[in-house]
Amino acid sequence: MTREEKRRRQREKRHKVRELQELAKGPVDLPFLVLVLMLTGIGLIMLFSASFPSAINDEGDPFYYIRDQAVFAAAGIAIMMVVSKINYHRLLGFSTIALLGSLALLVLVLVPGLGITRNNATRWLHLFIVAGPQFQPSELGKLGVILYFAATIAQRKERMRTFRYGILPYACILAVYAFLLLNEPHLSGCILILGIGAVMMVVGGMHGGWVAAGVLGAGGVAYAVLFTPLMKIIGYNSSRIELWHDPWSDFRGDGWQLAQSLIAIGSGGLLGVGLGKSRQKFLFLPEEHNDFIFAVVCEELGYIGACLILVLFAVLVVRGYWIAIKARDRYGALLAVGVTTQIGLQAMLNIAVVTGFLPTTGISLPFFSYGGTALLIQLFEVGIVLSVSRQIPAPKAG
């Protein structure tokens, strides 16, 4: 290569970098941003309402939970806006690091003495390994899958229709995640990561035959788990399946949580008992400020209020997929699909658990449930979608 050719390539590279920098200065998608801010704001209000009785009982401070969550929300919104101004192509270099790093953290959870156990599940680590705030590495696992799958699927295009390149490597990665998560055990986190990965593979161009086989296989497994004695035979969480069918059979025992959730939802009626006036949150409903916060939403805001929140989530998902469709390139579209799928699927599963449509399992409601690091990661991911929206090509003049 001559010196002149090297200079020409360098000029082209600098020109491309400047062009991408200019593209990243476009306006963010305002509807998506407003929806996220609305859900975060409503989530903080409902968290304070749901948490102050247990905060007084556990810590002697009614603001204990909301104070931490508000700080993380403010930091998360700031991070979201910063990330939205960064060209999302810069994330390409971090995709493999994010994947391997999240897997390493999931391995550390299973190391005796490092993982934190609650309710017979070891899912948490200290943020600084031996001390400091706690977080679930599965939250980073979702981000790792989104970044890595988007980066690699975007480059494969037609090869995604083959088994060797479009199925096998991604199935192996998801199998490793599933193995680690099921050993915690963390069934809901496993379902989320498998669902995110599967949707990104489908959008990436996976052959229709494999899609049909996957849907039938997943449906068969779900039916076997929920409606046959399979779980009793293998002995994994079989009691949860039985109590899901009839929580009143052990009302004072393991069926207490779901039963209290259903009581809270029924007590809300059409218009609710009023903001701050829930009765079940006064130490009757376990995890009222975390996984089961939607039950308090239903009790205080009623059927109409709960439906309005569902509509906000639904519109957010639709808008996220719209950004994916309009994205400038395949990589941006896959990033938007991954993040939007995570938010939508997680919200759907949480609400299905709280309302009794699915067996009880630990899964939080995005933007609502208590958990600072989870909220930070969610808002970071939203910033990625907003970054993608900045580069949506302007409509051509008629």
Token pair of 324 as six digits: 């994916």
pLDDT at 229 over 70: no
Could you tell me the end-to-end alpha-carbon distance of the chain, in angstroms, rounded to an integer?
45
Confidence of residue 26 (pLDDT cuts 50, 70, 90): confident
Give dist(CA 173, CA 192) in Å, integer.
Answer: 14
Of the candidate ranges 153-167, 237-251, 274-288, 345-359, the one whose mean pLDDT is the lowest: 237-251
**Amino acid letter for position 25:** K
C-alpha–C-alpha distance, residues 365 and 348, integer Å:
9
Enumerate the β-bridge partners of residue 116.
Answer: 124
Beta bridge partners of 155: none
Residue 81's contacts (CB-CB under 8 Å, 6 or more residues apart) are 383
Instruction: Return phi, psi of residue 22, to 5°.
Output: -65, -40
C-alpha dist (Å) from residue 329 to 16, 316, 341, 361: 15, 21, 18, 37
The answer on pLDDT for 310 being more than 60 is yes
What's the confidence (pLDDT) of residue 105? Answer: 92
In single-letter form, the type of residue at position 166 comes to: G
Tokens of 14: 């600098």
Least confident of 49-53, 201-205, 212-216: 212-216
Structure tokens at 377: 């990661």
Structure confidence at residue 233 (pLDDT): 46
In whole angstroms, give the CA distance from residue 361 to residue 359.
Answer: 6
Q: What average pLDDT does the chain have?
A: 87
Q: Hey, what are 23's tokens?
A: 């593209």
When pLDDT is cut at 50, 70 and 90, the band that residue 237 belongs to is low
Give the C-alpha separation, 382 to 384, whole Å: 5
Query: What pairing do the DSSP bridges indicate for beta strands 134-135 and 121-126?
Result: antiparallel
Decide: 312 and 21 in contact? Cβ < 8 Å.
no
Report whether pLDDT(129) > 60.
Answer: no
pLDDT at 230: 53
Please, are residues 253 and 260 in contact by the beta-carbon 8 Å criterion? no
Model pLDDT, residue 163:
84
- Relative to beta strand 116-118, strand 134-135 is unpaired
Rounded CA Rg of the chain: 22
Say if CB 200 and CB 157 are below 8 A apart: no
**pLDDT tens digits, residue range 155-187?**
887 788 888 888 899 999 999 999 999 888 888
Q: Residue 337's closest CA among 383, 289, 299, 385?
A: 385
Question: Closest Cα to residue 347, out of 312, 320, 385?
Answer: 312
Q: What is the pLDDT of residue 49?
A: 97
Q: What is the pTM of this model?
A: 0.89
CA 63 to CA 340: how far, in whole Å? 31
> What's the burial of 128, exposed, middle or buried (CB within 10 Å: 0-12/13-18/19+)?
exposed
Residue 129 pairs with which residues in a beta bridge? Answer: 126
